[in-house]
């Protein structure tokens, strides 16, 4: 039933309760991860990370530096002087974080610069982010920094913008689990000329400025998505129904008869422009004729091809099923087709389904497409 989307069982399943309690305990023991996310080198990630470590140290926390970049600026060196550093080990010519030494030292907080770092094959963890995971499991909180270009799921897109791909990476899900993610934002001008591929001529400079702006946008949107998931989780944990969203969510209402093409085209363009989500929903009815079934199938394919996340809804009342689903997903706009004409009985019964969606869609915009 469509209603199950928002109704919560009154008495929780004891097994589930136990799982929840155990998960909570594990979460309490586990250290907290904070990530500083930058979109390019030179925005000041390392400085912000070390400065946060310094502040926590001055407030009495037991802080060590677990990993630093090889090259450092005077600003970074000044901060490092104020903190205890656990030296990196050199294995096969590669610098590796000394996890055992950190575990023996058992600090409250460990600072890890360059989260995306590959370890040589002989190490027990292949990647530095796995080292960090181990520290977290042992109750050590970690403050880390990472550059957008090293995030697994973003690598291809970043490579397309920058024209070169990096080898090392961190899965985005790992960042999604961070307790806190903080964007180190700066205008692109401030990091022009940093890094190995600094600009030479004026055209290069402009081109690189644009690249940086694009990377900056991706980093901001990535952080927004992480925050969005955190918010959803928070609302769920506190039993709050999501009836609003900081993000735009478009829902296309699919029927066998609808001219779905213009609706999904417009939906995907809107979702792209707003950097929002595109959903589509239809009523799963057992009583469709073969012709209707085929038409519905074609329309659903159009929606899927446009990148919509498609949902089947149950219920006898299409308007109610649609609105219940829309509210549970924090939809901001419903796209629906309208034939323009009404039967006399629709009018006497308070209008057809679309009229009723418009009437009852509190807090949700309805965009009517003529058909």
Footprint on this chain of other proteins (rule: CB under 8 A): 34, 157, 160-161, 179-187, 189, 206, 209-210, 213-214, 216-217, 220-221, 223-224, 227-228, 230-231, 234-235, 238, 240, 243-244, 246-247, 266, 268-270, 272-275, 306-307, 333, 338, 340-341, 347-348, 350-351, 355, 358-359, 361-370
Q: How far is CA 225 from the centre of its chain?
A: 3
Residue 225: partners with Cβ closer than 8 Å, 6 or more residues away: none
CA-based radius of gyration for the chain = 26
Tokens 């600072």 found at: 111
Query: Nearest CA to 183 among 329, 37, 361, 78?
Result: 37
Q: How far is CA 327 from the centre of its chain?
A: 21
Closer residue to other proteins, CB minimum distance, 41 or 245: 245
Residue 146: partners with Cβ closer than 8 Å, 6 or more residues away: 35, 36, 37, 38, 45, 114, 115, 116, 170, 175
Residue 287 Cβ vs other proteins, minimum distance, rounded to whole Å: 28
Closer residue to other proteins, CB minimum distance, 76 or 331: 331
Residue 87 Cβ vs other proteins, minimum distance, rounded to whole Å: 29
Neighbours of 76 (CB within 10 A): 19
Is residue 132 within 8 A of residue 117, CB to CB? The reply is no
Q: How far apart are CA 91 and CA 88, in angstroms?
A: 9
Closer residue to other proteins, CB minimum distance, 97 or 271: 271
Closer residue to other proteins, CB minimum distance, 38 or 256: 38
Closer residue to other proteins, CB minimum distance, 100 or 165: 165
Closer residue to other proteins, CB minimum distance, 85 or 240: 240
Closer residue to other proteins, CB minimum distance, 107 or 276: 276
| C-alpha dihedral sign at 183, 186, 192, 193 | negative
Residue 132 Cβ vs other proteins, minimum distance, rounded to whole Å: 18
Residue 130 Cβ vs other proteins, minimum distance, rounded to whole Å: 24
Closer residue to other proteins, CB minimum distance, 243 or 295: 243
């Amino acid at each position: 039933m469509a209603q199950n989307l928002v109704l919560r069982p009154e008495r929780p399943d004891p097994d589930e309760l136990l799982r929840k309690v155990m998960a909570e305990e594990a979460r309490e023991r586990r250290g907290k991860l904070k990530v500083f996310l930058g979109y390019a080198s030179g925005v000041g990630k390392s400085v912000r990370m070390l400065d946060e470590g310094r502040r926590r140290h001055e407030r009495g926390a037991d802080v060590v530096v677990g990993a630093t970049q090889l090259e450092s600026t005077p600003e970074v060196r000044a901060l490092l002087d104020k903190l205890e550093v656990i030296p990196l080990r050199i294995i096969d010519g590669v610098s590796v974080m000394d996890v055992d030494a950190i575990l023996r030292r058992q600090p409250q907080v460990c600072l890890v610069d360059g989260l995306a770092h590959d370890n040589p094959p002989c190490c027990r963890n292949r990647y530095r982010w796995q080292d960090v995971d181990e520290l977290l499991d042992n109750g050590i909180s970690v403050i880390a920094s990472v550059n957008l270009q090293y995030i697994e799921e973003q690598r291809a897109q970043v490579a397309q913008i920058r024209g070169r791909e990096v080898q090392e990476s961190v899965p985005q899900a790992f960042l999604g689990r961070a307790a806190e993610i903080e964007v180190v934002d700066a205008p692109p001008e401030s990091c022009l000329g940093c890094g190995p591929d600094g600009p030479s001529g004026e055209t290069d400079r402009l081109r690189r400025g644009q690249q940086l702006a694009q990377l900056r946008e991706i980093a901001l949107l990535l952080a927004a998505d992480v925050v969005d998931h955190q918010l959803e989780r928070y609302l769920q944990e506190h039993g709050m129904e999501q009836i609003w969203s900081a993000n735009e969510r478009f829902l296309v209402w699919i029927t066998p008869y609808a001219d779905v093409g213009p609706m999904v085209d417009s939906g995907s363009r809107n979702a792209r422009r707003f950097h929002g989500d595109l959903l589509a929903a239809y009523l799963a009815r057992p009583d469709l004729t073969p012709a209707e079934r085929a038409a519905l199938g074609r329309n659903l394919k159009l929606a899927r091809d446009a990148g919509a996340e498609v949902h089947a809804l149950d219920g006898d009342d299409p308007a109610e099923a649609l609105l219940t689903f829309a509210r549970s997903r924090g939809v901001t706009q419903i796209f629906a087709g309208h034939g323009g004409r009404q039967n006399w009985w629709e009018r006497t019964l308070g209008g057809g389904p679309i009229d009723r969606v418009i009437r009852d869609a509190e807090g949700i915009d309805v965009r009517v497409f003529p058909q």
